[in-house]
Homo-oligomer: A and B are copies of this chain.
Amino acid sequence: MTDLHIGEHISRQYNEELEDIRTRVLAMGGLVEQQLKNAVQSLVERDTELAAQVILLDHEVNAMEVAIDEECTTILARRQPAASDLRLIVAVIKTITDLERIGDEAERIARMASRLSEDGRSVKLVTRIAEMGQHVREMVRGALDAFAHLDTDKAVEIWDRDRRVDEEYESLMRELMTFMMEDPRTIPSILETVFSIRALERIGDRATNICEYVIYLVKGKDVRHTRLTDEADDA
């Protein structure tokens, strides 16, 4: 799956430090994925309590980012990592930034869900929004799996799924616009829905960022701003 051997160091403690960082990134990713799941659920099921919980837990995501960031800086200073270890640290610093921003988007969705259900306003197209949310969540989980197993094939596969999410976004946008034009009184509540699906679309983009870091980590090659499917052929 990969020819990268992280963890073959003379110092056992250094090994453990690197392993610890990876474990903590995955724990942070797990929490972010849960936040995303709950945010979408609070939106489609009009569940204000669940929305409040998502908003409340965002500070935990933030605290995890700051803690992992500090650990990375400490390792850079004390261990002076080279080659694949260095790439791991750089990839982690970037990954946790995206995870934290995914958490922010989930919090935004929860806030919109909360406003909508407090005003007793309905959310249009809930089934399809729930579906899009599910697809975006699968992307986040897949990107984290690719990171956990340093699996570039998986990274490319997940990266590729962003197209479907973009199509779902475009199609939902067109229909929401039609609803607004047919009944202008629905504009304020539909706009909240519009921003929610836009947040989902952005989360999909961030999942693809994480996939790109995985490829950089394994191959030592920066694939951002290139066509990733060509990269897959090289794999």
- A70 to B216 Cα, complex, angstroms: 11
A63-B225, A225-B66 known; A73 vs B86 contact (CB < 8 Å): yes
List, in ascending order, chain B residues with CB within 8 A of A181's CB: 184-185, 187
A225-B62 contact given A77-B82, A191-B194, CB 8 Å threshold: yes
11 A-B Cβ contacts within 8 A?
A62-B224, A62-B225, A73-B90, A76-B90, A93-B93, A93-B94, A177-B187, A180-B184, A181-B184, A184-B184, A195-B198
- Contact A188/B177 with A62-B224, A77-B82, A83-B77 known, Cβ cut-off 8 Å: yes
List A residues 183-224 near B (Cβ within 8 Å): 184-185, 187-188, 191, 194-195, 198, 222, 224
A87 at the interface (CB under 8 A from B): yes
Q: A80: CB under 8 A from chain B?
A: yes
State whether the Cβ of A69 lies closer than 8 Å to any Cβ in chain B: yes
- Chain B residue nearest to A180 in the complex (CB): B187
Give the residues from 34 to 86 in chain A that come closer than 8 angstroms, CB to CB, to chain B. Answer: 59, 62-63, 65-66, 69-70, 72-73, 76-77, 80, 82-83, 86
* A97 on interface, CB distance cutoff 8 Å: yes
Q: Are B97 and A73 within 8 A (Cβ)?
A: no
- Provide the residues of chain B in CB contact with A62, threshold 8 Å: 224-225
